[in-house]
Amino acid sequence: MRTEKPDSALMDIAVVIPVHNIAPYVRHCLDSLLAQVYPHWVAYVVDDGSTDESGQILDEYAARDSRFRVFHKPNGGVGSARNFGLLKVEQDLQAFAAVTFLDGDDWLAPDAYSVLLPKMLSEKADILFSGFRSAFPGKLVERKFVHSEGFFSKLDFVEAVCSYEDWAGRNGSWGVVWNKIFRPQMVAGLRFIEERDILEDEMFCLQAALRGSRFYFVNCSYYFYRKRKNSLLNTQDINKRIARGRLLELSFLEGNREFQERLRPAMGGIFLKAKEEDLRQFFEEGGLFAKVAKEALPAVEKWHEAKLISDSDYRFFQTMADAQVPEAPVDGLPVDFLGGLPPAGQLAVQLMLDEIKVLKKRVKFQDADIANLKKKLSAEKGR
């Protein structure tokens, strides 16, 4: 049974939930909302063209409890589903004290909102974020920061958003939206970049961060993030795709030199992680940055229209997207060509050059290992 809101204050929290073909898990997610100690939530649940029983399950819950507002739309990806939910939330934005996100295959601790929402309001935070637990089959892994509870500066918060797991001895937040609660003004009119299915969370968080000034961290875990074998983050080329996104983010922060300098080592962590994959082709193709620009241009055009990036940065992406792929490897280009790029472009390309040097050494060792293995196999066949 729902309880009355204290002092008739605006205390409702809007929860945006994208759902696509997760019938085995979505009941667990929605039941965790029903189990919340704090009952004043409204869930905007978006069925993103599911072909399994997910849609029917959502309708069942909507019939049981009016706090579930269910919408069905053609499949467009997680960014599209979240954007649809945000659009619906904004129609009622004045009714909410906060906006948050919950993925349809994850779940919450029963006291999540009863702890986090009052804390956000009492501290007058623009964005509140917390730890979480990764739920592997049969075990839970705590994902906490080493920091104690308290306020983050904007620069520290942006670094936390962009840090990678175990970077500098701590677990980064990965820029995910679901371990954060936003003041409504931080996300009003803000949208996920639908052209990308990797790092769209980070780019959303970065844009929200640039609007805010008060960022509060709670070093406890109330969110359970389900780790599934077939999830997007387990695809073979995930680190290469994240690396491309990292380069885009450096350009996205054009005009914020202090942010760029702080984020360079944090973002470099993904390249260290990515070296576990075969990135030889990724880095040795001379047109890497041109490829990144081509891939990003539709999103960059939207950023420019929304005045989120400068005219010079937009022209830079246009120029790079039109560029021919050079025949020479990237590390064969003269370093002075960096002088013609805007600061974000210089930083991104220099980062690539630095990482290529390390990768080249690793490739030599890999080649030697492969040659030795071939010799061993040949010798065994000859016996």
pLDDT score of 378: 72
pLDDT band for position 222 (cuts 50, 70, 90): very high
pLDDT score of 206: 84
In a domain, 89, yes or no: yes
Q: Are residues 303 and 343 in the same domain?
A: yes
If you average pLDDT over every residue of the chain, what do you get?
75
Which of the listed residues 200, 234, 268 is the one where a domain comes to its end? 234
Domain residue limits at 175: 6-234
pLDDT score of 280: 42
Compute the distance between CA of residue 70 and CA of residue 68 in angstroms, rounded to an integer.
Answer: 6
Q: 37-46, 135-144, 335-344, 355-364 — which is least confidently predicted?
A: 335-344
Compute the distance between CA of residue 105 and CA of residue 288 in angstroms, rounded to an integer.
Answer: 35
pLDDT score of 381: 63
Q: In this structure, what CATH number is given to the domain that contains residue 153?
A: 3.90.550.10
Place of tokens 């450096």: 250
pLDDT single digits (tens) 107-154:
999 999 999 999 999 999 999 998 888 888 878 777 666 677 899 999
Q: Find all residues with CB under 8 Å of 161, minimum gap 6, and list them.
A: 172, 173, 175, 202, 205, 206, 209
Q: Decide if 175 contacts 161 (C-beta within 8 A).
A: yes
**Number of domains, the chain:** 2
Residue 242, helix vs strand vs coil: helix
Q: Are residues 146 and 249 in the same domain?
A: no
Residue of 309, 320, 186, 317 lying closest to 255 (CA atoms): 309
Q: 10 or 110: which carries more pLDDT confidence?
A: 110
Q: Are residues 66 and 117 in the same domain?
A: yes
Q: Are residues 223 and 303 in the same domain?
A: no
pLDDT score of 200: 78
Compute the distance between CA of residue 29 and CA of residue 112 in angstroms, rounded to an integer.
Answer: 13
What burial class does residue 144 get, using C-beta atoms within 10 Å of its C-beta: 0-12 exposed, 13-18 middle, 19+ buried? middle
Q: What is the mean pLDDT of residues 94-109?
A: 96
In a domain, 275, yes or no: yes
Q: Are residues 248 and 229 in the same domain?
A: no
Q: Are residues 284 and 338 in the same domain?
A: yes
Q: Are residues 230 and 108 in the same domain?
A: yes
Q: Which residues pair with 182 in a beta bridge?
A: 99, 127
pLDDT single digits (tens) 45-74:
999 999 999 999 999 999 999 999 999 999
pLDDT score of 335: 41
Tokens of 261: 């300098």
Torsion region of 218: left, alpha or beta (phi above 0 gives left; psi -120 to 50 gives alpha)? beta
pLDDT at 247 over 70: no
Strand pairing report for 96-101 and 180-182: antiparallel
Which range of 17-31, 291-305, 318-332 scores highest in mean pLDDT? It is 17-31
Q: Are residues 194 and 327 in the same domain?
A: no
Compute the distance between CA of residue 283 and CA of residue 177 in angstroms, rounded to an integer.
Answer: 30
Tokens of 91: 């129609």
Tokens of 361: 């050494």
Residue of 207, 210, 189 lying closest to 199 (CA atoms): 207
pLDDT score of 135: 83
Strand pairing report for 150-152 and 215-226: antiparallel
DSSP assigned state of 121: H
**CA 24 to chain CA centroid, nearest Å:** 24
Q: Are residues 205 and 310 in the same domain?
A: no
In a domain, 381, yes or no: no
pLDDT score of 159: 79
Which of the listed residues 234, 257, 289 is the one where a domain comes to its end? 234
Q: Are residues 228 and 244 in the same domain?
A: no
Q: What is the mean pLDDT of residues 229-257?
A: 60
Q: Are residues 58 and 126 in the same domain?
A: yes
In a domain, 224, yes or no: yes
pLDDT at 340 over 60: no
Q: 80-84, 186-190, 205-209 — which is least confidently predicted?
A: 205-209
Q: 134-138, 190-194, 288-292, 308-312 — which is least confidently predicted?
A: 288-292
Compute the distance between CA of residue 96 and CA of residue 42 in angstroms, rounded to an integer.
Answer: 9
Q: 146-160, 195-209, 323-337 — which is least confidently predicted?
A: 323-337
**CA 156 to chain CA centroid, nearest Å:** 17
Residue 194 vs residues 76, 78, 87, 276, 298: alpha-carbon distances, Å = 8, 8, 14, 28, 10
In a domain, 383, yes or no: no
Place of tokens 């962009």: 162
In a domain, 272, yes or no: yes
DSSP assigned state of 198: S
What burial class does residue 263 get, using C-beta atoms within 10 Å of its C-beta: 0-12 exposed, 13-18 middle, 19+ buried? buried
pLDDT at 296 over 60: yes
Q: Are residues 259 and 224 in the same domain?
A: no
Which of the listed residues 234, 264, 282 is the one where a domain comes to its end? 234
